[in-house]
C-alpha cells in the first residue's frame, strides 16, 4: 500500500502540469511513472493516451492504446467516452474497435467483482465519530487515504468504501450511483454493528465522483450524516440535487464544498452551491483560486474548518 501511495503522491505533479496546460511536461511525468510503477499500467497508459491526443499526437495516442490493449489492458466504455481529452477520437474506426475490446474485457472482469472497505481505527474507547470517504472515478481508497486518515488521530473512525464497479483492472467507479449508494449503506450497517459509533457525529466526504455521491447520500437520508464534505464534486444532476435538498430528510444537514478556481467544472460547482443555498442547506464554498481538480495542499486545515462548520464549533 505504501508503494501505491507513493505513486499517487508523485502523480500529483502530472495533474498540476495538466491543469495549467503544460501537456508536454505532464506527459514526461506520466512516462516516468509508467517506467517506475509497471503495476500501475492501467492509470499511466490511460494518462499517456489522453496527453498524447490532447497534444495533437493522435497517431501516437492510438498506437499507445493498441500496445496497452495487446498487453491485456482495458478501460470502461464510460471512461473512454466521457474524457474530454479523447473527444476527437470518438467515431474513429480504430478507436471504436479498441473500445469494443475493452467492453468485452470489462464485462468478463465485472462478473466476479465485489465491494470492499478500508477502515482506519482511532485509539481509545468509543463511541467514535465516523467519516465515510469515497474515492473518485477510476480510483480506489488507497489513492486518497493519506488525506482522509488525518482525522484518525483526532478520534475519528475512518471508513473508505471501494466500489464493486470496475473502471479498469485496478480502479473503480461509481457510474451506477444507486448501486453505489446501496453498497455504501450496507457498509454503514456493518460498521454500526462492528464498532462503537457516535451516530450524532457522522460525516460523508469524497473526491470528484465520490464527492457527488457523498452529497446525494447525505441528502437522501439513508445514512444519518450530520454533513457532507465534497472535494470538487463531479457528475451531479441539478434536478436530482434540488429534489433531495428540498426533502424532509435533510433538516439540520450542513455542507462544506472545496473547489479549485481552475477546475474545468467550476461553474457547475458554483451551481451546486447555489442550489443548496436556495434550498436552505447551510453550506460553505471554499475556493482555492490556483487549484484545479484536486485536493488543496493544506487539506489538514480544510478538514478542521469543515468539521468546525458542520458541527458548529464555537471558538
Domain boundary residue among 68, 86, 110?
110
Q: Which long-range contacts (CB under 8 A, 24 or more apart) does 100-103 make?
A: 101/69, 101/74, 102/69, 102/74, 102/75, 102/76, 102/77, 103/77
Domain assignment of residue 315, yes or no:
no
CATH number of the domain encompassing residue 19:
1.25.40
pLDDT the model gives residue 197: 97
* Count of structural domains, the chain: 2
Instruction: In whole angstroms, give the CA distance from residue 143 to residue 118.
Output: 12
Long-range Cβ contact pairs of 305-311 (< 8 A, separation 24 or more): 305/256, 306/203, 306/227, 306/229, 306/256, 306/258, 307/151, 307/203, 309/227, 309/254, 309/256, 309/284, 310/203, 310/226, 310/227, 310/229, 310/254, 310/255, 310/256, 311/201, 311/226, 311/227
- Same-domain pairing of 42 and 121: no
Residues 99 and 132 in one domain: no
Judge if 106 and 122 occupy the same domain. no
| Residue 286 shares a structural domain with residue 176 | yes
Cell numbers for 306, please give them.
469543515
So what's the pLDDT on residue 249? 59
Do 189 and 252 share a domain, yes or no? yes
Amino acid 315: pLDDT = 44
Residue 127 and residue 84 in one domain:
no
In a domain, 201, yes or no: yes
Which positions ≥6 away from 314 have C-beta within 8 Å?
none
- Can you give the residue range of the structural domain that contains 259? 116-310
* 137 and 255 in a common domain: yes
- Residue where a domain terminates, one of 56, 91, 110: 110
Please check whether residues 150 and 278 belong to one and the same domain.
yes
Residue 171 pLDDT: 87
Q: Please, what is the Cα angle at 15 between 170 and 84, to 5 degrees?
A: 80
The predicted pLDDT at position 313 comes to 58
Examine the domain organization and report whether 39 and 163 are in the same domain: no
Same domain, 129 and 197: yes
Q: Of the residues 110, 126, 146, which one is the last residue of a structural domain?
A: 110
- Is 59 in the same domain as 142? no
Task: Enter the pTM of the model.
Answer: 0.84
The CATH number for 224's domain is: 3.40.50.1820
Residue 238 confidence (pLDDT): 80
Amino acid 200: pLDDT: 94
Mean pLDDT by 10 residues, the chain (315 residues): 69 86 96 94 96 97 98 94 95 98 95 95 94 93 93 97 93 92 97 96 96 94 94 85 74 91 88 91 94 89 97 65
Domain co-membership, 94 together with 173: no
DSSP string covering 41-69: HHHHHHHHHHHHHHTT-HHHHHHHHHHHH
Amino acid at each position: 500500500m505504501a508503494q501505491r501511495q507513493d505513486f499517487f503522491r508523485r502523480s500529483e505533479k502530472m495533474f498540476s502540469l495538466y491543469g495549467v496546460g503544460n501537456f508536454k511536461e505532464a506527459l514526461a511525468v506520466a512516462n516516468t511513472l509508467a517506467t517506475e510503477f509497471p503495476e500501475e499500467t492501467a492509470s499511466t497508459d490511460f494518462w499517456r493516451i489522453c496527453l498524447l491526443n490532447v497534444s495533437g499526437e493522435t497517431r501516437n495516442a492510438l498506437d499507445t492504446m493498441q500496445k496497452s490493449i495487446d498487453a491485456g489492458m482495458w478501460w470502461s466504455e464510460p471512461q473512454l467516452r466521457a474524457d474530454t481529452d479523447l473527444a476527437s477520437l470518438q467515431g474513429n474506426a480504430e478507436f471504436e474497435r479498441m473500445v469494443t475490446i475493452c467492453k468485452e474485457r470489462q464485462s468478463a472482469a465485472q462478473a466476479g467483482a465485489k465491494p470492499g472497505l478500508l477502515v482506519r481505527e482511532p485509539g481509545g474507547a468509543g463511541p467514535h465519530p465516523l467519516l465515510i470517504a469515497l474515492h473518485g472515478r477510476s480510483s480506489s481508497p488507497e489513492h486518497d487515504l493519506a488525506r482522509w486518515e488525518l482525522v484518525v488521530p483526532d478520534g475519528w473512525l475512518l471508513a473508505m468504501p471501494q466500489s464493486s464497479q470496475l473502471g479498469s483492472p485496478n480502479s473503480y467507479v461509481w457510474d451506477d450511483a444507486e448501486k453505489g449508494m446501496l453498497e455504501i449503506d450496507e457498509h454503514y450497517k456493518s460498521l454500526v454493528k462492528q464498532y462503537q459509533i457516535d451516530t450524532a457525529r457522522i460525516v460523508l466526504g469524497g473526491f470528484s465522483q465520490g464527492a457527488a455521491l457523498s452529497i446525494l447520500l447525505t441528502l437522501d437520508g439513508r445514512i444519518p450524516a450530520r454533513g457532507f464534505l465534497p472535494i470538487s464534486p463531479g457528475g451531479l444532476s441539478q434536478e436530482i440535487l434540488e429534489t433531495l435538498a428540498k426533502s424532509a430528510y435533510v433538516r439540520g444537514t450542513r455542507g462544506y464544498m472545496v473547489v479549485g478556481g481552475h477546475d474545468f467544472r467550476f461553474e457547475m460547482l458554483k451551481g451546486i452551491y447555489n442550489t443548496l443555498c436556495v434550498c436552505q442547506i447551510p453550506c460553505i464554498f471554499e475556493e482555492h483560486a490556483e487549484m484545479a481538480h484536486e485536493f488543496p495542499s493544506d487539506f489538514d486545515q480544510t478538514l478542521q474548518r469543515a468539521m468546525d462548520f458542520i458541527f458548529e464549533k464555537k471558538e
